[in-house]
Amino acid sequence: MSGLLVRRAVPDDFAAVARLTVAAYEADGQLKGENGYAVALADVASRAAAGEVLVAVDEATGEVLGSVTFVLPGTPYAELSGPGEAEFRMLAVDPAAQGRGAGAALVSACLSRATELGCAAVVICVRGGFAVPAHRLYERMGFVRTPERDWSPLAGVNLLGLRIDLTGSVAVGEPS
């Protein structure tokens, strides 16, 4: 298996990112009756202007295998993050490339970026009942459910809040 490189997307990557993101969401069933979300997923240029679009690339072939959008609070794509937190959105791995570690590499890159910027935590939301591999990945990487951050942008679309503490501290009331 060839290695993966995670780097910031460049405009030449945008078409591949758009294609694989829509394909991943479609393969997971998340775009049925989606009210135009595929258009937002495919608008990589807007995401790159508002945050950092990162890509996981096969080092041997140069093929873009996955992508994610890293954002800070108060920016156009931020949904859950508050002061001292970062967030990532639209994590997607090409269905043909799943199982090669691209998703984990992209999440790790977001956690590293948040740490570089001095953030205390990273928050995300994931659609309930969908994205089962993503749910497992986030749990394995240390994200915990934060039900107080659950929300619904549209009827029938329930998003679950998740958070990971980057400070290594244990919250009051949690076992150490």
- Each residue of 48-107: pLDDT tens digit? 999 999 999 999 999 999 999 999 999 999 999 999 999 999 999 999 998 899 999 999
Please give the model's pTM, rounded to 2 decimal places.
Answer: 0.90
Residue 173 lies in a domain: no
Residue 1: per-residue pLDDT: 42
Structural domain count of the chain: 1
Sign of the C-alpha dihedral, residues 67, 71, 77, 81? positive
Pairwise pLDDT comparison (174 vs 71), residue with the higher score = 71
pLDDT, residue 34, reads: 58
- Has residue 172 been placed in a domain? no
Q: Is the pLDDT of residue 33 over 50?
A: yes
Assess if residue 176 is contained within a domain: no
CB 121, CB 113: distance < 8 Å: no
Of residues 40 and 2, more confidently modeled: 40
Residue 169 has pLDDT above 70, yes or no: no
- On average, the pLDDT of the chain sits at 89
| Integer Cα distance of 58 and 21 in angstroms | 16
- Residues of the chain with pLDDT > 90, as a percent, come to 71
In a domain, 106, yes or no: yes
Is 62 part of any domain?
Answer: yes
Q: Residue 138 sits in which domain range? A: 4-165
Paired strand residues for 58: 4
Burial class, 23, CB count within 10 angstroms (exposed 0-12 / middle 13-18 / buried 19+): middle
Q: Is 171 domain-assigned?
A: no
- The kind and range of the H/E element at 13 are none
Percent of the chain with pLDDT over 70: 91
CATH number of the domain to which 46 belongs: 3.40.630.30
Confidence at residue 118, expressed as pLDDT on a 0 to 100 scale = 97
Residue 44 clears pLDDT 70, i.e. is over it: yes
Q: 145: part of which helix (H) or strand (E)?
A: strand 144-145
The amino acid occupying position 19 is R
Instruction: Tell me the C-alpha to C-alpha distance, in Å, between residue 29 and each of 37, 66, 80, 133.
Output: 12, 18, 23, 13
Q: Given pLDDT bands bounded at 50, 70 and 90, which one contains residue 29?
A: confident
- The reported pLDDT for the residue numbered 172 is 40
Using CB atoms within 10 A of its CB, is residue 17 exposed (0-12), middle (13-18) or buried (19+)? buried
Query: In the numeric block, which tokens belong to residue 101?
Result: 């570690």
| Amino acid symbol at 123 | V
Asked whether residue 76 is domain-assigned, the answer is: yes
Domain assignment present for 175: no
| Alpha-carbon torsion (39, 96, 92, 18), positive or negative | negative
140: which 2 tokens?
A: 């394995």
Tell me how many degrees the CA angle 79-101-153 measures, rounded to the nearest 5: 20
